[in-house]
Amino acid sequence: MAKRTLGQLDVSGKRVLVRVDFNVPIDQGIEGISLYDQRLRATLPTINYLVEQGSKVVLCSHLGRPKGEVVEELRLAPVGDRLAFLLERPVKSLPEITGPMVSDAIAAMAPGDVVLLENLRFNPGEEQNDEAFACELSDSVDCFVNDAFAVCHRAHASTAGITKFLPSAMGLLVQREVTEMGKALENPDKPLAALMGGAKVSDKILLLDNLLEDLDHLFIGGGMCVTFLNALGFLTGDSRIEEDRLEFARQIMERAKKSNTEVHLPDYVVIANEFKPDPSDIDVMHVGDVPDGWYIMDIAPSAAQEFSETLRKCKTIIWNGPMGVFEMPKFSKGTRTVAEAIAKLEDVTSVVGGGSTAEAIEELGLMDKMTHVSTGGGASLEFLEGKELPGIAALPEG
C-alpha cells in the first residue's frame, strides 16, 4: 500500500518538523560543503513547498558520528549557512535539539520561517530510537515529514519513533526516491541492465540475488570484478580476493546462464605495482596476464568502451558502484567513460545508487543527466535488495 505523501498532509500554517539528511563532509570546511551539497539541494523542493504553504519549517538532521555526545566540530550551523544560500532565505540554526530554548524559538516563528535544530546524534536517544526523545522532538510541532531517504534504513527516533506522536508523511525527495527506484525494480523498460562495481562482492550479494533473474545484462567492474575473474580461473596479482565469495560468484554466473542474463566482465584492466594514488608503475593488461605483486585498479579504456556500447542498447540501467578506485584520479577513467556514455543516452531510465557512485556522478558534473541519482547509500542498496525500510514502513498509508 502506498504511503501518505506530502500533498496528502495538512501543512498549511502548521509547525512542520522535517527530517532531512544534511550529513555532508563538514571536515573539509565551507568549501567542502559547497562542493558536495547534493543532499541539501535535494531537500529544496520540500522546504520550498512548505514555505509556500505558510508552514513554519523546523529541520532536523544528524551529522557524522558523535556517539551521543556534543562534538563542537559536528555542529550544524555551517550547514545551515549553506542551506540559507541555496534557499535564498534566512535559516536560523539553533544550538539545541529540544528544550525550552527550542520551544521558544519555534513559538516565535512566522509563516515561512525556517529553523535548523542541532545535530540529532548529540542525543544518545536518537540512534537508540528512544521513545522519550522522539516525544520530546514532537512537543513543539504539529506534524512530521520524512525527507531523509538516506537514513530511512535506520529505525531511529527521528525516522521511525517520531511517527507515533505526529501526523506524518513522506517528503517530495523520499517520494521521488521510492517512485523512481520502484519503477526500475517493478516495471522496467527492457532491456534491463545492472552495472555493479565498488570494493566488495559481499556488499552486493542481496542486490544481485534480487535482480539477477530480471536482468538482460549484468556488468561487473571495480573491486568486485577481481573476485569474479578469480572465480573464472584468472590470476589477479595481489588484488584483494574475497575467498569466501568465490563460490557465490560462480553461482551467479551459472544462474545468469539459466536466465539468459549476459554477464560482462572486463577483458583488460588497468594495473599498478602499488595500491596508492601515485604508484611508480602503471600498465594495461589482459585479465589473464596480471602478474604477482600488481593490483587491478580500474577497468581498461577498451573495456569501458565495450561496456558503454552494450549499455547504449539498454532501456533501463541500475548502477551501483564505481568501475575502479575512483577516488584516485589516475584510476577514475573507467567510471568517467561509462558515466559519460550513460549521460548521453536518450529515452533511457538511469537509476544511480547513492554513496560513492552518487559522489562520482556529482564530481563529474553529470547529476542532471541521469534520470535519478539516489541520495542514499545504504538505504538505496537495501531498497534495491527488496528490503522494507523502517523509516518508510513507519509512515501511515496514504
| Catalytic residue selected from 32, 64, 182, 378 | 378
What are the phi and psi torsion angles at 279 (to 5°)?
-70, 160
In whole angstroms, give the CA distance from residue 222 to residue 297: 8
In whole angstroms, give the CA distance from residue 24 to residue 208: 29
In whole angstroms, give the CA distance from residue 381 to residue 391: 15
Query: In a 10 Å sphere around its CB, with 0-12 CB exposed, 13-18 middle and 19+ buried, how is residue 85 labelled?
Result: middle
Cα–Cα nearest to 176, from 141, 202, 152: 152
| Catalytic residue selected from 15, 39, 75, 204 | 39
| Catalytic residue selected from 80, 223, 353, 355 | 355
CA distances from 146 to 55, 104, 151, 156, 159 (A): 15, 23, 10, 12, 7
Catalytic site includes residue 4: no
In whole angstroms, give the CA distance from residue 275 to residue 315: 36
Catalytic site includes residue 288: no
Catalytic site includes residue 200: yes
Residue type, 220: I
CA 380 to chain centre: 6
Catalytic site includes residue 14: no
In whole angstroms, give the CA distance from residue 305 to residue 317: 16
| Catalytic residue selected from 92, 200, 240, 330 | 200
Residue type, 39: R
CA-based angle 37:40:44, to the nearest 5?
135
Tell me which residues are annotated as active site: 39, 200, 355, 378
